[in-house]
Amino acid sequence: MTTFLKTSFLLVSVFFLAQCDATKNTSDTPKEENQMTVNATAKKMMEEGFKAGTIVYSEAENDCPYTIQIENEEPSYFLDPVNLEEAYKKDGMKIWVQYAGMRMMNRCEKANPVNVVAIQKREE
C-alpha cells in the first residue's frame, strides 16, 4: 500500500510541476508587446505623413551643424532643418518629422533645407 501512495504522490507532483513550467512559456512577453506597440505607432505616424529620422550632429567645416537623416527610404537622405528647436538638437535622437521643402540655397552639401512643420521624439 505504501508503494502505491508513493507512486501516486510522485505522479501528482510531476503533473503539477509540468503545469507550472508550461504556464511560464507564454508568447505575450513584455518585449513582444512593446514591439507590437512600436509597430502600431510607426504605422499610425506614417499614415499621418510623418517620416522616421535621426538627428545627426557634425562639427565638420562647411557642414550643417544639425541635420536629420531620413530612414526607411532607399537611399536614405539628409535634411537641413532651418527651424529645429533646441530640445531636438541631440545627436542620435530618434524622431518623427513632417517637413516642407524650401526654395533657398543649400547651407551645406549633404542636406536640403526644410522647414519643420511637426516633430516629436520617437520611442525605440
- Domains in the chain with CATH codes: 49-124 (2.40.50)
- Least Cα distance to 53 among 107, 92, 105, 8 occurs for 92
Q: What is the mean pLDDT of residues 80-104?
A: 96
Predicted TM-score (pTM) of the model is 0.69
Is the model's pLDDT at 18 over the cut of 60? Answer: no
Cα dihedral 19, 21, 27, 31 sign: positive
Average pLDDT, whole number, for the chain? Answer: 83
Q: What is the mean pLDDT of residues 46-63?
A: 94
Q: What is the mean pLDDT of residues 102-109?
A: 92
Is the model's pLDDT at 38 over the cut of 90? Answer: no
Beta strands (DSSP E) in the chain are 51-57, 66-70, 77-81, 94-101, 111-121
Is the model's pLDDT at 40 over the cut of 70? Answer: yes
